[in-house]
A and B are shown apart, each in its own frame.
Chain A
Amino acid sequence: MTVKVKLPQLLLVVVWIFWCWYFRGHFRKMASIVAAANNDDRVHLICRFYTRGMCRFGNLCRFIHPDPSQPTAAGVDGGSQPASNRLHDSHTAAATTSAQTDPKKWVLAPVFVPKNQQRISIEPGSSSSNDNCKDEASASSTTYAAVVVGPGGTVVQSDVSSEETTTTCPYQFNCPYGDMCTYEHNQMCEMCGRYSLHPTDKEQRKSHIALCIQQHEKDMELSFAIARSKDKTCGICFEIIMEKSGREQRFGILPNCNHIFCLECIRKWRQAKQFDNKIIRACPECRIPSDYVCPSAFWVETKDEKEKLITDYKKALGEKDCKYFKKGEGKCPFGNKCFYKHALPGGERVDVGVPKRNKRKIQRADDEILDLFDLYLWDFVDRREFHWLEILSNFTDSGDSDWSEDFE
């Protein structure tokens, strides 16, 4: 009878002993980590419940109840340290202790990755692209941050708001814990309407507002560009350019005069075979010759806007491989006067020198050759499909949903 009663208890004791024995290594490790962190022999563990304001044990609690008035105490450390620095210490013990209370460091909490931690960190596709990372990860990637964030410990920020979500309450304004929440809650930015302003981090607030203002300026610029473009009529097809369909909704800007055409029309005019070059290179309205047509999503009016557009355009062309040079395999008849990129497969740029001219032509007057040559060069530029156009159209397409409604 007595034996029967004691058997389950005995079993429990055995299991407990086994459990202690099994996890002894972990206890020892944790103790040493915490001790090292505090540079103290005593084991400091901060009460989780106290930090949430609901420890039932009060003064009798086994864990430390830190004094909020002492900012130096472990775990109450404020957000003055930049996020990236904190992440660098991902494997240090300081991080692991304070991670218990500081929501900003929860991301650095120790993670239990028993045997496969090495495998994870050097797995292809994970962020282990450099050696530095591999070493760090395999040696001590005990934190979630080290595994996820990857080399160098820098968090890749894709968005303005992503930074805040890692350091403050993920629920933000509709947090179910309300004032009881241990996380800090962001304040709403009046410019973007998002809860993106950190309550205490002045640097963050400043940079967020600066970003917002920048964005706002961009939006304003776009609005103005649309406003001045929306009623412009092409001088050739007589249609309102912004009302044309899809890819035809583009301006062809002539560098030397201010007459309005859509890109399709002015290109077509300049390719007309039935007229002299002199005629088709001239503006159909004022007959001022222009060497090329610059595509643009919007109408540019001022000289500065136009100059910027043309500079950007030439720069964009310079990024694209010349179809005659063919990465060194071919020869570009336009030499170093070509707008397109002359680079070897390795990316090394090549100066192909001045364009080679036809011997027969050299006998003629020099100026004439140059003129002829220029004409052909511009022909070439005009007739190619532009990379840059794609960039531009992407730009307008992406913003489409935002502004189109306002102007319809």
Chain B
Amino acid sequence: MANMAVSRIKREFKEVIKSEEIVQCSIKIELVNDSWTELRGEIAGPPDTPYEGGKFLLEIKVPETYPFNPPKVRFITKIWHPNISSVTGAICLDILKDNWAAAMTLRTVLLSLQALLAAAEPDDPQDAVVASQYKHNYSLFLMTARHWTNAYAGGPSRFADCDQKIQRLKDMGIDEHKARAVLSMENWDLEKATESLFS
């Protein structure tokens, strides 16, 4: 069985390397070790989204029962998205769970994830805080997502206001990522963020 998983991954690897998306630099797959069971994926943030310009790294673990079971995929790069945990990078996507199909490939998974970045599903959230912000304060969500993209994925947009607030918390001895996460959760309200940090 493991044999089938490995031989299929090998074939898929060739397919992804030849595919158009590689040429356009929108997706990429790399080997992590020689076992073919652990891979590193990379997707480009889709255009006209807050993730534009960012490169998002993914951890892909291929189970022995692949392709009869989906690969386990997680964002390594921190991302602000209703269907992706801002803490762990866990993804809520049906095809990676109970809607998997054996004919799907790593390429289709990565493309689906790219599509997920472009079209979030706030009604089926992975990260409830992000989803709530998305629903109730969309402009703030866009800013936060752009900021995260800039901070973690090499996105172009910088927000001086955000950086300032993070710097204030850092001065209080808070770790930068923690400061950013708390501020994002508290809708960039410095007071509330401080409160939740020190209470």
A interface vs B, CB < 8 Å?
A: 235-239, 259, 265, 268-269, 272, 274-276, 279, 282-285, 287
Contact = CB atoms under 8 A, between A and B. Distances in A.
Contacts of A235: 102-103
Contact of B103 (A236, A239, A272, A279): A236
Given A238-B8, A272-B68, A284 B98 contact: no
B187 interface: no
Contact of B101 (A238, A268, A274, A279): A279
A341 B115 CA distance: 50
A269 B12 contact: no
Contacts of A285: 101, 103
B98 A269 contact: no
A265 B98 contact: no
Given A269-B68, A272-B68, A274-B69, A236 B7 contact: no
Interface in B62-83: 67-69
B99 interface: yes
B68 A268 contact: yes
A153 to B, nearest CB: 60
For chain B, the bracket of interface size reads 10 to 19
Contacts, number: 40
A237 B101 contact: no
Given A237-B4, A269-B68, A272-B68, A284 B12 contact: no
Interface of A is mostly: loop
B11 interface: yes
B188 interface: no
A285 B105 CA distance: 11
Contacts of A274: 69
A201 to B, nearest CB: 58
The residue in B98, B102, B104 that gathers the most chain A C-beta atoms within 10 A of its C-beta is B102
Contacts of B152: none
B36 interface: no
A285 B67 CA distance: 13
B103 A259 contact: yes
Contacts of A238: 7-8, 11-12
A267 to B, nearest CB: 11
Nearest to B11: A238
Given A237-B7, A238-B8, A239-B7, A284 B102 contact: yes
B100 to A, nearest CB: 7
Contacts of B68: 236, 268-269, 272
26 contacts: A235-B102, A235-B103, A236-B103, A237-B4, A237-B7, A237-B8, A238-B7, A238-B12, A239-B11, A265-B102, A268-B68, A269-B68, A269-B102, A272-B68, A274-B69, A275-B100, A279-B98, A279-B101, A282-B101, A283-B103, A284-B101, A284-B102, A284-B103, A284-B104, A285-B103, A287-B101
Nearest to B14: A238
Given A269-B102, A275-B100, 16 more contacts: A235-B102, A236-B67, A236-B103, A237-B7, A237-B8, A238-B7, A238-B11, A238-B12, A239-B7, A259-B103, A265-B102, A268-B68, A269-B68, A272-B69, A279-B100, A284-B104
